[in-house]
């Protein structure tokens, strides 16, 4: 009875999975000749020892929170949006184009860009939803193909003569499109003088800290509200739980699938826009996908597909990604792949209770049929 209670509590299982992941990674590090405690110390120190490290961790976590929300939203409605990567890329393309070609005043410019980039990501996601609703094409297959199309479209757009700044690099966005926190102030003479007297704030503002994290939290709350407090959320979750029962109850299943993938794509497209406006300020030729969308799957799983939990799982994932990069330097000198092993192990243990649940469900169905 107690065992069943533990397995049904997703929060406890997530913490246990993280603990198991840390223990197994420690064993692997020990076998490989590294001191696990020293490695973990370097990761923690690399994230929390300076204000700018914390700032970089938040910046690193922001797109992961949003792509995690995107995947979690689709999961909640019974869909597997593996195309968050492609929708993220489409968001970066639109944000970069509008950031350079569009001339608008401060504040209005980034708002317009975020809206259009989100819309573009939504259309990209809705394509996969339409293909599933109209022709029954599995969204996993269609979104994988759309990811590749988005990647090559990204590289093709950079080579537009009016957009190409130099080899493999597009023109950066205009200053009016930036969402970096106090960017104008910290570049001004009075700002530099003020920051000299405030070393802690100066250390934070050395990084491209931007409004993206605040936007990501607001989006997480909105997604939670839509899913749990609105008729639209009820319909989408009903289709995800049992589409036949939902259809019998008068819900338009096909429309719900397209809507769900569209909203999911919107969130990933927004993640791409915030990355351009707040961090990279432009796009360069990609040899491969950057992985933000795929990492979003892990963030959603660690957060048990809860919109609010995705904030914390995104921060946790960002901490591992940013802090993990510090273990390459002396005196550790360990490969960063260790971090990927840790994340993979955590997700493996998170998946185990669900596999047990699915097995029990399958076994119960089989017994009923017999």
DSSP state of 162: T
Q: How confident is the model at residue 356 (pLDDT cuts 50, 70, 90)?
A: low
What is the CB-side half-sphere exposure of residue 55 using CA atoms within 13 A?
Answer: 19
Q: Which of 84-93, 112-121, 215-224, 339-348 has the lowest mean pLDDT?
A: 339-348
For residue 185, the Cα-to-chain-centroid distance in whole angstroms is: 30
Q: For residue 223, what pLDDT is reported?
A: 96
* Residue 98 near residue 245, CB atoms below 8 Å: no
Considering 14-23, 193-202, 332-341, the range whose residues carry the highest mean pLDDT is 193-202
Residue 278, pLDDT score: 94
CB 170 within 8 A of CB 163: yes
Token representation of residue 151: 């990647």
**Helix runs in the chain, H state only:** 2-8, 10-31, 36-48, 51-76, 84-101, 108-135, 139-158, 183-187, 189-196, 199-205, 212-229, 231-241, 243-248, 253-275, 292-302, 307-324, 337-369
- 109-219-302-147 Cα dihedral, nearest 10 degrees: -50
Q: Tell me how far apart the alpha carbons of residues 251 and 343 are, in angstroms, rounded to a whole number.
A: 38
Of the segments 26-30, 83-87, 358-362, which one has the largest average pLDDT value?
Answer: 83-87
pLDDT reading at 231 higher than 70: yes
Structure tokens at 352: 């185990």
| Cβ–Cβ < 8 Å for 177, 113 | yes
Specify which of 16-25, 237-246, 258-267 reaches the highest per-range mean pLDDT. 258-267
Compute the CA torsion angle 110, 116, 120, 126 (nearest 10 deg).
Answer: 120
Q: What is the pLDDT of residue 104?
A: 95
Averaged pLDDT, 316-320: 89
At 102-159, the pLDDT tens digits run 999 999 999 999 999 999 999 999 999 999 999 999 999 999 999 999 999 999 999 9
d(CA 257, CA 137): 12
Place of tokens 């409004």: 211
Residue at token pair 């497209």? 269
Q: Please compute the mean of the pLDDT values over residues 63-76 and round it to a whole number.
A: 95
Q: Are 117 and 270 in contact (CB under 8 A)?
A: yes
- Least confident stretch, 13-22, 86-95, 184-193, 231-240: 13-22
- Mean pLDDT along residues 327-334: 77
pLDDT at 212: 95
184-216 pLDDT, tens digit each: 888 888 888 888 888 888 888 889 999 999 999
CA nearest to 297, candidates 220, 351, 257: 351
Q: What was the pLDDT predicted at 183?
A: 83
Confidence label for 358 from pLDDT (cuts 50, 70 and 90): low
Question: What is the pTM assigned to this prediction?
Answer: 0.89
């Amino acid at each position: 009875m107690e065992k069943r209670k533990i397995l049904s509590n997703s929060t406890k299982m997530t913490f246990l999975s993280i603990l198991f992941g840390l223990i197994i990674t420690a064993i692997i590090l020990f076998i490989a000749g590294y001191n696990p405690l020293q490695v973990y110390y370097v990761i923690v120190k690399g994230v929390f020892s300076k204000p700018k490290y914390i700032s970089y961790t938040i910046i690193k976590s922001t797109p992961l929170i949003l792509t995690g929300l995107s995947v979690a939203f689709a999961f909640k409605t019974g869909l597997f949006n593996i195309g968050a990567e492609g929708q993220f890329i489409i968001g970066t393309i639109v944000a970069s184009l509008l950031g350079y070609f569009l001339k608008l005043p401060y504040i209005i410019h980034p708002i317009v860009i975020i809206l259009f980039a989100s819309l573009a990501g939504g259309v990209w996601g809705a394509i996969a939803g339409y293909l599933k609703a109209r022709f029954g094409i599995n969204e996993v297959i269609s979104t994988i193909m759309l990811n590749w199309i988005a990647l090559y479209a990204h590289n093709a757009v950079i080579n537009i003569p009016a957009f190409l700044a130099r080899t493999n690099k597009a023109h950066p966005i205009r200053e009016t499109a930036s969402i970096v926190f106090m960017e104008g102030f910290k570049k001004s003479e009075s700002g530099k003088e003020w920051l000299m007297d405030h070393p802690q704030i100066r250390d934070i503002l050395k990084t491209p800290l931007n409004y993206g994290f605040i936007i990501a939290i607001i989006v997480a709350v909105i997604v939670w509200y839509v899913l749990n407090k609105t008729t639209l959320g009820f319909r989408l979750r009903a289709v995800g739980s049992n589409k036949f029962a939902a259809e019998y109850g008068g819900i338009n299943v096909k429309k719900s699938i397209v809507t769900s993938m569209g909203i999911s794509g919107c969130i990933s497209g927004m993640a791409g826009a915030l990355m351009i406006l707040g961090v990279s300020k432009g796009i360069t030729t990609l040899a491969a996908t950057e992985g933000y969308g795929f990492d979003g799957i892990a963030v959603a799983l660690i957060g048990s597909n809860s919109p609010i939990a995705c904030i914390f799982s995104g921060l946790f994932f960002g901490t591992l990604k940013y802090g993990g990069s510090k273990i390459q330097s002396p005196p550790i000198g360990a490969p960063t792949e260790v971090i990927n092993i840790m994340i993979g192990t955590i997700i493996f243990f998170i998946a185990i209770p669900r596999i047990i649940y699915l097995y029990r469900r399958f076994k119960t169905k089989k017994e009923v049929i017999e």
